[in-house]
A and B are shown apart, each in its own frame.
Chain A
Amino acid sequence: MREVHVDQIRDTVSRLCQEASCLLPEDVVGALETAREREQSPVAVKVLDQILDNAELAREEMLPLCQDTGTTILFLDIGQDVHITGGDLRQALVEGVGAGYTKGYLRASIVDRPFSARTNTKDNTPPIVHTEIVPGESVRIQVMPKGGGCENMSRFTIMLPAAGKPGITEFLLQTVDESGGNPCPPIIAGVGVGGSAEHAMYMAKRALTRKIGDVNPDAEEAAFEAELLEAVNGLGVGPQAIGGTQTALAVHMMTHPTHIASLPVAVNLQCHSARLKEAVL
């Protein structure tokens, strides 16, 4: 049994919020550079140049990549041999996010009473927290500041099992096509297939934490992802929907066994500013 103090978790979350908002992950920068090489529309190339220049400036001067520093999504993979000490884990996560957004001059975008008063909580708390219990004696924390523009374009459906691959393809294409410039393409498309209603959307989002270029370990899913990416890039939406060949940087899928009567499909889009930072305690 290993002990991890909540203060360490709080301070790590605070640091990760600030770093994630300013430092675009290397795999995303690499994918944007590849997209810039492949893009055929001259207007879209200019857009990609601005996006790459923005990432460089943000990194050099520790500026937020985007003014929308997002809803703070936290993924915690907690080893089953870890004992969290010193206080309330949930409270530590809230304090970590609050400190990170305040110290980092990040935008507070969260409002309380969502259907009525919509009062800003002033420090971007509370975060959305997903925990999984995993083997081992460490705690992995991933911070994903998720922008509102792309999150608003999430879609979920439960298809008839007979819909199969063509149904999933059509649903993803329709989602990306109708979203246009709102999710800030070139996007990463997270697709969750199977499980239950809420688990499908969790998988769609969790799939966005996979590095671009890390191949899906399931060969059938990997092939389907490649097919979907090709189809999405054929839509012509392009960077910032200005028209072009590079609408998506990647399609990432996660699946789970599901009920004999169901084919749940969730799509969660990530903008080109695909911010994610992790630490292992």
Chain B
Amino acid sequence: MAEHQITLPLSDEVIESLHAGDYAFLTGSVLTARDVAHKRMVETLAKGDALPIDIRGELIYYVGPTPPKPGQVVGSAGPTTAMRMDPFTIPLLEAGLKGTIGKGGRGPEVAKALQEHRAVYFLAVGGAGALLSRHIKAVDVVAYEDLGTEAMRRMQFDGFPVVVCNDIHGGDALSLGKAQWRRSG
């Protein structure tokens, strides 16, 4: 498996070079959104209106952090289940989103759409929220502040560790991994 040090935003060359199962360390800016923010963005797009923040070329991290303690930039901040965002992902890819970060697999339609739109889905380790917060250097709420933990934020990553799950070549790290180690079922 290859290892990549990536400075965001993701360029088309970098996206081309990523393969399912590769390790990557992300540095730079990402957006965050969970269920309700996704629903709102897709409703806005459906009306033909502009999103509160431009998502072209961006990565969205599926996370709802714990509240920061005094002196902290962010609380624990690991990934949430990506599958819940599947119904909203294709319109966002059509609007120019270049990648997402979450845990667990994506449905076949999203996997296909990622390929079509030359975008990537990365896995971060679920349940490692304390550790992952150490790779987040700044956080600002940028939209939907009323949603609290579910508000959209901009986060500055510093070497944030991820694994490439769905690449633009049709690879899926979860199905490849399972096939390699399956003995029963």
Contacts and interface: CB of A to CB of B under 8 A. Distances in A.
Interface of A: 40-44, 46-47, 50-51, 53-54, 57-58, 61, 63-69, 105-109, 118, 120, 122, 147-149, 152, 173-174, 177, 180-182, 184, 231, 234-238, 240-245, 271-273
A67 B78 contact: yes
B111 to A, nearest CB: 13
A41 B66 contact: no
Given A51-B127, A65-B127, A181-B174, A41 B181 contact: yes
Contacts of B125: 47, 50-51, 54, 240
29 contacts: A41-B177, A50-B161, A51-B128, A54-B128, A57-B130, A67-B63, A67-B65, A67-B129, A68-B64, A69-B66, A107-B65, A107-B75, A107-B149, A109-B64, A122-B148, A148-B81, A149-B80, A177-B185, A181-B123, A182-B83, A234-B184, A235-B178, A235-B185, A236-B177, A236-B179, A242-B173, A243-B176, A243-B180, A244-B181
Interface string B160-178: 0101000000000110111
Contact of A173 (B1, B174, B185): B185
Interface of B: 1, 21, 23, 36, 63-69, 75-78, 80-81, 83, 103-105, 123, 125-134, 148-149, 161, 163, 173-174, 176-185
Contacts of B133: 63
A63 B127 CA distance: 12
B134 A238 contact: no
Contacts of A234: 182-185
Nearest to A42: B1
Contacts of B65: 67, 107
A58 to B, nearest CB: 4
Contacts of A54: 125, 127-132
Nearest to A243: B177
A66 B176 contact: no
Q: Classify the secondary structure of A's interface with B.
A: loop
Contacts of A243: 173-174, 176-181
Contacts of A244: 177, 181
A181 B78 CA distance: 14
Given A50-B161, A184-B126, A40 B23 contact: no
A68 to B, nearest CB: 7
A64 B127 contact: no
Question: Max chain A CB contacts within 10 Å: which of B67, B78, B149, B181?
Answer: B181
A241 B185 contact: no
A63 B76 contact: yes
Nearest to B177: A243
A61 B176 CA distance: 37
Contact of A181 (B105, B129, B131, B132): B105
Contact of B66 (A107, A174, A240, A271): A107
